[in-house]
Structure 1
Amino acid sequence: MVTKRRIVTIVFSLLISVAFFTGGLYLNSSIHQFEEYQTVEATEKEYGYTIYVCKHCGKVKMDDYVEPTSYLLPNIVINEVCSVNNSFLPDENGDCYDWIELYNPTDRVINLMGFGLSDKKTDLFRYTFGDVEIKPKEYLLVYAVGDEVIESSETDRIYANFKLTSQGESVFLTLPNGKIIDKVTYPELNSDESYSRFEVNNTVTYKITKGTPMEENREFIAVQPPVFSADSGFYSEPFMLTLTAEPGMEIYYTLDSTDPNMNSIKYEGPILIKDATPNENVYRLKRDTTTQKEKFPEELVDKATIVRAVAYDKNGNCSEIVTKSYFVGLDKYKNTNVVSLVTDPANLFDEEIGIYVKGKEYKQWELSGKAAEEPLLNWDKRGFLWERPAEVAYFDKGNLVFEQRLGIRIRGASNRDRQMKSFNVFARKFYNGQNRLLTPLFEELSSQKSFILRACDYKEGFLQSLVGDRNVSTQLAKPCILFIDGEYWGEYQILERYSTHYIEEHFGVNRDYVSMVKAGKLESGSETSLNDYNNLLAFIKNNDMSEKENYDYVCERIDIQSLIDCYCSQIYLNNVDFAYNKNVQIWRTETKSNNPYEDGKWRWMLFDMDACIKNNWKNLERFYDFNTFIGDFPYTNEIYEDPFIANLMKNKDFCKQFVNTFMDLANYNFNKDLVIEKLYKVTDNPDESMIIFFENRFDYITKYMAEFFKLKGKLTNVTLNISNPEQGTIKLNTLPDNITNSKWTGKYYTDYEMTATAIPKEGYAFAGWKIEGAEIVGDKNSQTISIKLFDDRDCSIEAVFKKI
């Protein structure tokens, strides 16, 4: 008979041996190849196992599980389950995932090799642990993400391939031999609630609490936030603001945009809300927001009154912070879009954590004489660690559209160094349980996850809008006035932000299978896609594109029309800061389907048009005369050295498509009369240089294009006769099929054939063509024809329709 004292001695010796040889307790009976095990006596009743120790390495093997009744057994417990995680422990991308917390209550390290974790009793090993240890009295989080593709460099995170349901279910922890050692059945949970384990006097209970990942479980008391008597908005006259809270609560508030706490102003009566413009400038005067010699505003800037309040109960539990923006006597902004961005000023201007300033490290480097390696400025630091929470209120012509807690990061390249910086703005569950804006900023969108606040005038958005109908992605845009922490900051543009969500919204593809490459670097997606892009680029450089087989290979992997639309737009608009490896972004899907955009082909995206039209690089008086095809670019390789253009233009089909597309854009999208008309709809005071540019650009750039492609033909007029648009229209080349102008005319070179397609309206059918000054090549009765222009005459195209 083995005595209790002897068993304890044996067990202690075993644990010492296991800890020495393995660093933990191994429970899988098949983990060791040797078969020479020494039996250690232990009663099944007390310990539930027959225990073996390997003579060679001291590893333990156990069989015959009954119940975990002793410290020889794992004792790992499921400590907490959160099935609706909207704010806890976001990853480097700002995404939050449901989680299961394990806890090791013992005094030894436990290795989970081979353990199973699952939400299905019929499949206990939906997730199987690798070589993972839990130290004594420590926690381990497992994120339940299902089949979602996680892009993360945080290798210490554990992602399980199943998801949790918010309606409630069971979670099982299983030994490698298939024996369940813990099971938790949690009920329906709300956002950020968890089902938590509590043990008092050896009695285990579970309660719904606020989540406490990687911390000791504790009960949570919810405190309702204070209620404001007036909402954010524009007010003509001063007024008294009243704050109320539940009985027994105290309210504290701030007027300087800082986060309120118990050291802030205690609310004891109504607050006077008035025009704050007479107050001294505070944040607008911060001098460490740029390294450039910029002028700071000396006059008082317009200001909104920002009120932030929080409620506390008698035990010190606090509510969420409520933030309101009041514009008193500032009616001049009621006819435009206004964004009020409010965050604790430390998030922007603190030397340690502020994302808008040089930062402590950089200042110390400056004071040291700049001897050491130059550190990053705070505003140049990137990633989720340099994202800060902000309360964003958006007003459309004086009306509050939404208020929402969002994340902000500094964006851009060289303009990060300027006093007026741009922001990327993100909706995340981490902030308020919403991963979409409460209301999209653009009526064209059904939902929106992020956007850009860009420090620029209307030019960026306006130029992109001119080619919004083309086969290249563009960003919707609208102007706004930005206030930061209540102070007027300047004129900004609200822009769509390119992301996998953008691709999903605009093209209807699954964003989980979208890859994006920006300036030759992987922006999102798989390394496989980046390798595909690099291999494709190498193929184009190293093979003769005049060969049909090689060109066809490229066309199977690139949407050629998208590439051409992008390059034609950049060249016509005189962008001298654009190349295949700079200020260019492309995307593709990694899967294929019936969706025409889910075909694995790379497609192009327009952005960053700052260097278009008139740039300050050469200060050319005749800036519209700049030959962007061969011009000496200040920041990038010239177009003729671009591997896409330089190599693909060796193919005659590519040249034809490029030349015809370029003239389509020149005649239609960049038509000077239409552009100037659109310009005055955007602004009452357009930049004169933009008007001069479009009035003159056509005559010069089309000539340079002809020289670049060595065209020998003439530039001739092509007129579409659309006398009865109610019967049908004509689609010419890549132009839209909705041209209803009875005599639309454009100029085209005669070198390449053009394509015309008759588009009958409902109730009509195509009946034939009337062509003058040109020759139909091929079937003259086809609804789609090729047209050969003549050098010595103009061309007229008319489609005839008949009623059916």
Structure 2
Amino acid sequence: DVGLFSGALNAPEARAIYALATAAKPRCDLGAAAKLIQLHRRQSPVPVTIGNRKWKYASRDPGDGQPFVVLSEDGSGVTTSLRPSVVSFAASHRFLDSGNSAQLRWAVTEDTTEIRITPLARPVEQTSGTLTITPDQTTQYEITARNDHGTSRATMTVHVDYRFGRPRISEFMASNASSHLDDDGDASDWIELHNAGPKLANTAHLFLTDEIDNPTKWPVPGMIMEPDESIVIFASGKDRRDIGSQLHTNFKLRAKGEYLALVYSTGLTTEMVSFFGRRYPKQKRGVSFGMDTSGATGPLSASTPSGRNGEVVTGSLDAVRFSHKRSLCTAPLQLILSSDSPSSAIYFTTDGTKPTPATSRRYRGPITIGTTTVIRAVAFRERMRHSPISTHTYIFPETAMRQPELPAGFPETWETFPADYAMDPRVTEDPSYRADLLKGFRAIPTMSISMPQTDLFGPRGIYSHPMDHGTDWEKASSLELIQPDGSDGFQIDCGLRIYGGFGRNRRFPKHSLRVLFKGIYGATRLNFPLFPGSDATTSFDTLILRGGFNNSWQAGSSRSQHLRDEFIRRSQLAMGQPASHGMFVHLYLNGLYWGVYNLVERPSGAFAAAYLGGERDEYDALNSGKAIDGTTEAWRKMHDVAGKATPDNVLETLGPFVNLDNLIDYMLVNFYGGNDDWDGHNWYAARKREPGAGFHFFCWDSERTLENAGGDNKTRTNNRNNPSGLFNQLLRHPAFRQRVLSRVRLHCFDNGVLTPTRAAARYAAMATEINDAIVAESARWGDAQRDSSLTRNDDWIPERDRLLNAWFPERTRVLLEQLNDVGNLGYIKSPDLKVTDDAIEILATTGTVYFTTDDSDPRRDDGTPNPTATIVKGFTVESELLPKSSEWKYLDNGSDQGTGWREPGFDDSRWKS
């Protein structure tokens, strides 16, 4: 038997699989065992049916004598029952007119020995079947299934001549700030219908409308609503009415105010059920409007689609004010919290959780802050919407240096793996590092992430379950930026996920993270100049905090630099191509120091729109061939075309799909770096969906670069359906090869981006950026995989010097030789031009040199000489500078005249003639 599991099994899970496979009852095959393990890991309160049994999560053995399977060291597991189960029990019609009949249907598990349905008089023998019933009044039917292990029951009611109640519009949102998304991921407006009871309600013959003269504009599908049940209908204009799926009206709501009503109409009679006058008032973004339990109507204290409404409020409180800005601190401080509303109550937490009156401390006076502390505060006042939660982190680097093995309030394990929090005293207490360590904490910006501890490390925590993906493993958090010079940073609420591939493995304790800015958390974009001094955008919908994996200390590599990926991306930028900008930051999680991270842009559709123009939804964006925005249709079509192209037409047929210079530069920088983890994955591409727009390619995750200067030959990389495969298809065309040679000339000669001096200078500048900060990284993660700690002086500096003194001086030459060896990229050095005052000297060591003087290219697309070009034959062209009859003056005293002498009005009366 074979079972597929999403991650490594812990010891209790492995033992449970054997027990389930060999037990007499309840026996499970490996596929069923895998489902049980998934159920336990999700900790879902909803039972899951496997075979004919329902299983559910249990934090401990209920002790009821029923089967319980331990799946974790903490004693939690899953449980089921050996008693029979009622699989289904229903009637063909729940509502009958007097004298009409319905079919009663049932099914119970095969281990049932006795079945009774009341009020029927006789026992039932079949474990599944139907019966005709003709009740003369509303009747509740009950099925009872028994065996030696116990009894199970289910009930249902058939109503006779029932008079339904009617639901009402209880809440709506006319300006959705993404707090509740529809099934397309859109922040559509929405309307909530609620059955206040006590009767069942029927939505047949009900209509929603936003036009007083069109009362039956959108028919509500017929459904039965239980008392206190709510239905959310999106006012999106999409007009969807399938019961069982999300419902969408054929109109949208206007935030400025308009008519909105729920109408009952049979075609003969029409009556108003629920409305808000001729026009509801202007609506605030992200604030719902409706009726509270007192019957009052207005803005609500909280938006609760499908939930019980909050109270109607008269306004919103402003954010709590902090007397001290978030900062790196050198001395204790007295923090004062205040609100614009004197009668409001302020509540705060220090553990990353959101403050509420029920779960947090009330502020009553200054708070003494003497160690690294995260303060989250909120103001409450009766009949007002509470203030947004404000978060400020105060960081004391001395606290980080003394970070212990088990800080108070943090768990000993992350699921089943030992937790890792401590700073290595072999680094922090070493006199040769202490001064640089303290300086390093202020050498680069700091970021602080705060959130409930359980959301990080608990049974459903993202850090304790790093292998899990998607929105189910995205948690609400706060992100702050603290500038080392004390200038303004920011705070924004966001979603947080674990990010990465193999680096998610639990044995590597430092995980990369992704932050997402969504309306369900707050602002939908971060607007801040993260990368000053560059052409980077200042608006972001997501960012990646790269922790480093390959060639990293946390993976045990002594050649870690924490620079390689950033260097490749900065090199692509230096080549004049769009690429992901990045910066280095110190990261803190709930006040604990977590190391040096590389904060970078993610090359998505929004990223491409920021740098190439247009809107996000106009782009196809791919991550290693998989669409993250748009579709892969154009990508597949491009490769279909490539497969059919001939050397004569490949440039013409593929050119419209690809930005050729971008592809060439992308390939060259990866060839130059000797990227050893590419291009089967680790690449992004994006294309605007319009005629003639070509794919752009973006370097990503280039950690396996800058290793062996004399080897690492990637010029023969040729993977189908990847950038390298496309590049090799195009190389069949002589004109494309010539274009490659031109880009090689541009970047590998004459102080180009990939020349030894310029590339080394770029790398050296980056190394200087983190020279002191990397000491903190060493203290945090240098011992992650070793008994001894990897350090800056013994490991990082020697590797840096090896690269600067040996790798960079040789790599450009090696790259040119590798390109030459490919065959179709043989390189003949272009001639150099030496321009003097009266002549142009053309310097060439080999080959025939052609030149033009009419601004045309001396070479045609196929590489052959332009017929209008002239062959250089070793002559000198003389040109008259001034006619002999000219009047002119000169100065020969060696004085510096600046540039003023070039102006027509310059006084040259003292010059000689």
Common fold: TM-score over 0.5: yes
Match status 1:386 vs 2:470: no
Aligned pairs (5 A) from 1:197-208: 197=291, 206-208=297-299
Partner of 1:353: 460
Identify if the C-alpha distance between structure 1 residues 701 and 266 changes in structure 2 by more than 3 Å, giving closer, same or farther. same
Q: Using the TM superposition, name which of 405-414 and 180-189 deviates more.
A: 180-189
> 2:500 touches 2:512 (CA, 8 Å); kept in 1?
yes
2:529 to 440, 449, 453: 440
> 1:716 touches 1:750 (CA, 8 Å); kept in 2?
no
Q: Which whole-Å CA distance do the structure 2 matches of 1:476 and 1:602 have between them?
A: 19
Superposition deviation, residue 475 in structure 1: 0.5
2:614 to 500, 509, 520: 509
Q: Deviations over 1:753-773 (max 9, x none)?
A: 9999xxxxxxxxx9869999x
Larger radius of gyration: 2
> 1:117 touches 1:125 (CA, 8 Å); kept in 2?
yes
Q: Deviations over 1:221-258 (max 9, x none)?
A: 56666443222113332222233455565544433434
> 1:540 touches 1:643 (CA, 8 Å); kept in 2?
no
Letter in 2 for 1:435: T
Partner of 1:187: 281
Q: Which whole-Å CA distance do the structure 2 matches of 1:257 and 1:795 have between them?
A: 77
Superposition deviation, residue 264 in structure 1: 4.1
Letter in 2 for 1:602: F
Match status 1:570 vs 2:658: no
- Using the size of structure 2 for normalisation, the TM-score is 0.59
> 2:164 touches 2:200 (CA, 8 Å); kept in 1?
no
Match status 1:273 vs 2:378: no
Identify if the C-alpha distance between structure 1 residues 132 and 509 changes in structure 2 by more than 3 Å, giving closer, same or farther. farther
Count of residue correspondences: 622
Partner of 1:305: 373
2:682 to 583, 602, 610: 583
Aligned pairs (5 A) from 1:32-111: 75-86=166-177, 88-90=179-181, 96-104=187-195, 107-108=199-200, 110=202
> 1:186 touches 1:195 (CA, 8 Å); kept in 2?
no
Partner of 1:450: 542
Match status 1:215 vs 2:297: no
> 2:327 touches 2:395 (CA, 8 Å); kept in 1?
yes
1:546 to 620, 631, 647: 647
Partner of 2:131: none
Superposition deviation, residue 214 in structure 1: 0.8
Q: Which whole-Å CA distance do the structure 2 matches of 1:405 and 1:696 have between them?
A: 47
Partner of 1:700: 814
Superposition deviation, residue 610 in structure 1: 1.0
Identify if the C-alpha distance between structure 1 residues 318 and 197 changes in structure 2 by more than 3 Å, giving closer, same or farther. closer
Superposition deviation, residue 569 in structure 1: 2.0
Residue aligned with 1:85, SS:
coil
Residue aligned with 1:334, SS:
coil
Aligned pairs (5 A) from 1:248-327: 250-261=345-356, 262-274=358-370, 276=371, 304-311=372-379, 320-327=388-395
Identify if the C-alpha distance between structure 1 residues 266 and 695 changes in structure 2 by more than 3 Å, giving closer, same or farther. same
Residue aligned with 1:562, SS:
helix
Residue aligned with 1:461, SS:
helix
What's the C-alpha RMSD, in Å, of the aligned pairs?
A: 4.7
Residue aligned with 2:308, SS:
coil
Q: Using the TM superposition, name which of 508-517 and 686-695 deviates more.
A: 686-695
Q: Which whole-Å CA distance do the structure 1 matches of 2:843 and 2:99 have between them?
A: 89
Identity %: 20
> 1:250 touches 1:311 (CA, 8 Å); kept in 2?
yes
Match status 1:679 vs 2:763: yes
Q: Deviations over 1:111-159 (max 9, x none)?
A: 669x7655455777886767877566432222344689x9xxx993344
Letter in 2 for 1:385: D
Identify if the C-alpha distance between structure 1 residues 129 and 251 changes in structure 2 by more than 3 Å, giving closer, same or farther. closer
Q: Which whole-Å CA distance do the structure 2 matches of 1:431 and 1:393 have between them?
A: 14
Letter in 1 for 2:287: E
Superposition deviation, residue 401 in structure 1: 1.4
Aligned pairs (5 A) from 1:344-493: 344-350=452-458, 352-357=459-464, 378-398=465-485, 399-417=487-505, 418-432=508-522, 434-443=523-532, 444-456=536-548, 457-468=562-573, 470=575, 472-493=577-598
Partner of 1:627: 713
Superposition deviation, residue 606 in structure 1: 1.9
Match status 1:242 vs 2:336: yes
Letter in 1 for 2:259: S
Residue aligned with 1:467, SS:
helix
Partner of 1:651: 733
Superposition deviation, residue 677 in structure 1: 2.1
1:338 to 430, 446, 468: 446
Aligned pairs (5 A) from 1:764-803: 777-778=865-866
Q: Which whole-Å CA distance do the structure 1 matches of 2:725 and 2:299 have between them?
A: 60
In structure 1, list runs of 5 or more residues that go unmatched: 1-11, 22-69, 277-303, 358-377, 593-598, 615-621, 725-741, 757-765, 781-786
Superposition deviation, residue 721 in structure 1: 5.3
> 1:105 touches 1:138 (CA, 8 Å); kept in 2?
yes
Q: Which whole-Å CA distance do the structure 1 matches of 2:801 and 2:645 have between them?
A: 45
Q: Which whole-Å CA distance do the structure 1 matches of 2:384 and 2:257 have between them?
A: 31
Match status 1:602 vs 2:695: yes
Q: Which whole-Å CA distance do the structure 2 matches of 1:335 and 1:438 have between them?
A: 24
Partner of 1:7: none
In structure 2, list runs of 5 or more residues that go unmatched: 1-94, 105-160, 399-437, 549-561, 772-796, 882-902, 904-913
Identify if the C-alpha distance between structure 1 residues 390 and 512 changes in structure 2 by more than 3 Å, giving closer, same or farther. same
Residue aligned with 1:430, SS:
coil
Identify if the C-alpha distance between structure 1 residues 490 and 74 changes in structure 2 by more than 3 Å, giving closer, same or farther. same
Partner of 2:832: 719
